[in-house]
Amino acid sequence: MNQPSHDAGLFDHCPWLFAGQASEEQRAAQDQRQQRLLAGPGEVRLGEGCFVAETAAVYPDLLHLGDRSYIAAQAYVTGEIRTGADCTVNPFTVVRGTVTLGDGVRIGAHSSLLGFNHGSAPGLPVHQQPVTSRGITVGDDVWIGSHVVVVDGVTIGDHCVVGAGAVVTKDLPAWSVAAGNPARRIRDRREPRGTKRPAGTETLAEELAAFAETARAQATDLLNRSWRPDTGRYADRPGSEPTVRAHCDAVEIADLLLGDVPSHLPAAGHVERLRASQDPATGLVPEYGAAPPLPGPAGLPEDDGPPAYHVLCVGYALDLLGSSFAHPVHAVRTTTADRLVRHLGALPWDGRAWHAGAWVDSWATAAHWNLCAGGEAAAPGALEALFGWLHTHADPWTGMWGSPSQESGRLQMVNGYYRLTRGSFAQFGLPVPYPERVIDTVLDHARDTRHFAPGRENACNVLDVIHPLWLCGRQTTHRGEETRAWAATQLSAALRRWHPGQGFGFGPTSDGTGPGREPGLQGTEMWLAIIWLLADALGLADVLGYRPRGIHRPEPAPTTERQ
């Protein structure tokens, strides 16, 4: 078969034409070129069907080219370079240092992948600085456009596209479409232009639908395992004591997954028992068998005990059942603005920001139930004083209340932020201050491996990240792509935590307290809400077929009166 005769420069600049159009003489010349490379210096391995332009400056310490890969004209290749199959180093491209490419990587003309760096300490001239190399890693199926620079230490994930002229200084997750100097992730390659979903959302949508179907099918079983027929009460899990919270969690789970009440009692029976748990004098709810709690100087008890959380869980369980507290929360209704402001200032914001935020959550929620009962939330001006104090004491740098600590980083302040804003700003439908700074703080916290390394996450810590990101994301698009990427990673992990017929475990805690890893009602109620928030951040919540209506409801809570 006769083949057209082309100038050798054509194949040097368009090596993809070589396999189909080169003459026998040109093939022999390419074979000689490859033999010279194989002879050294440097360790060289060339796969089947490779091409290396005669005009390319290829002086490697190590060069491994996968099958059907090529290096085009005027490319400059040194160092330790490894490629998979079907990779291209196009004309005038520089690949130096330690660079590893997966399969199917396309590098546009005039780009530079620089897998090494010079030191820059002030004590030596630059030419005397030591050279370091962390290396560059590029995944499979990646297109790097023309005039792109990738610096040392960067990993570009599978299936990425890097736009022309970009300067890649940080890692890019799989499926990123990135551009700019410095390069930033614009969208997910798999989504149409204008949409911004992170990698894996198609698969996640399928997993979410399957999970929701499974959870609904097994909801009755997980509720049954926590029901105690001998006492007529709910325990968090087998072997634990019945608690007021467990009853409320059962009501929330049944509403989410079954759209009904737990079948162990009729709706009126659930309402009767929960309403009867309230102390008429204070409006607070003690634990089973405990004495009524003593109010603190601003209405609520001073500790983090069950009565403070019962303001939330009992109130919302009754709301889901179409009812409400039998009595106002008198301990809060009598709080004056002066007493409230003094108490807010005395809360342990620096060392125990979670405790402080939880107190605000409970107080604001009690005020909300008082409004629902048709009366005053608290003494005149107290609710306004709460929001005034919160606005004037939020840190403009972090958007939060409290400070990080050496022991736990931002854990206390971020977790306290969730509790505080849940009961105040979110519940009353008010915008939070400094939402961009909050997002910065929360995303920094979410990278703390003390709390978010695989196997260390628990329901509290994940909820206390996704809710602020979700809440602030309603006010700003700041770092939205990073939020969605974090949500996708956490959602995929959360779906794998389901225990068939038993629900979710809360997860490990650093001090060994709490319900732990064993599946129970508390972990299940929290993770179901977390999964909804994570899915909603990705635009996938509709796949679940449920929407929280209780403590973790996404809308502001209504203040209509119920009996």
Instruction: Please check whether residue 109 is in contact with residue 91, taking contact to mean a CB–CB distance below 8 angstroms.
Output: yes
What are the helix (H) ranges across 180-243?
201-224
pLDDT at site 331: 87
Neighbouring C-beta atoms of residue 452, cutoff 10 Å:
18
Distance CA 487, CA 541 (A): 12
pLDDT of residue 409: 94
Provide φ and ψ at 528, rounded to 5°: -60, -40
Query: What is d(CA 158, CA 200) in angstroms, rounded to the nearest whole number?
Result: 12
Whole-number pLDDT of residue 2: 45
DSSP 17-30: GHHHH--HHHHHHH
Tokens of 533: 């928030």
Give the CA distances from residue 212 to residues 219, 258, 279, 317, 495, in Å, rounded to whole numbers and listed in that order. 10, 11, 38, 22, 10
The pTM is what? 0.66
d(CA 368, CA 403): 28
Among the residues of 227-350, which ranges form H helices?
A: 244-258, 267-276, 306-320, 330-333, 337-346
Structure tokens at 510: 């650093």
Q: How far is CA 82 from CA 66, 115, 377, in A?
A: 8, 12, 68
Helices and strands (H and E) in the chain: how many: 17, 21
Per-residue pLDDT of the chain (563 residues; tens, 9 = 90+): 444 556 768 888 998 899 888 889 999 999 999 999 999 888 999 999 999 999 999 999 999 999 999 999 999 999 999 999 999 999 999 999 999 999 999 999 999 999 998 877 777 888 888 888 889 999 999 999 999 999 998 989 889 999 999 999 988 877 788 888 888 877 777 665 655 455 556 688 889 999 999 999 999 999 999 999 999 999 999 999 999 999 999 999 999 999 999 999 999 999 999 999 999 999 999 999 999 888 888 878 877 789 999 999 999 999 999 999 999 999 899 999 999 999 999 999 998 999 999 999 999 999 999 999 888 888 999 999 999 999 999 999 999 999 999 899 999 999 999 999 999 999 999 999 999 999 999 999 999 999 998 888 999 999 999 999 999 998 888 999 899 999 999 999 999 999 999 999 998 876 666 677 899 999 999 999 999 999 989 888 878 989 899 999 988 887 655 44
The SS3 call for residue 273 is helix
Which structural domains are found in the chain, ordered by start?
8-188 (2.160.10.10), 201-544 (1.50.10)
Nearest to residue 111, comparing CAs of 86, 160, 74?
74
By the 8 A CB rule, do 91 and 75 touch?
yes
Beta carbons of 122 and 85 less than 8 angstroms apart: no
Query: Comparing C-alpha atoms, which of 439, 347, 331 is closest to residue 389?
Result: 347
The Cα 188–Cα 178 span in angstroms is 9
Which residues are within 8 A (CB) of 233 and not within 5 positions of it... i.e. 6 or more apart?
242, 246, 247, 288
Q: Taking a C-beta distance cutoff of 8 angstroms, is the pair 516, 508 a contact?
A: yes
Give 422-426's long-range contacts (Cβ < 8 A, gap of 24+).
422/361, 422/467, 422/551, 423/312, 423/360, 423/361, 423/362, 423/363, 423/364, 423/365, 423/368, 424/360, 424/361, 424/364, 424/386, 424/387, 424/390, 425/387, 425/390, 425/471, 426/467, 426/471, 426/556
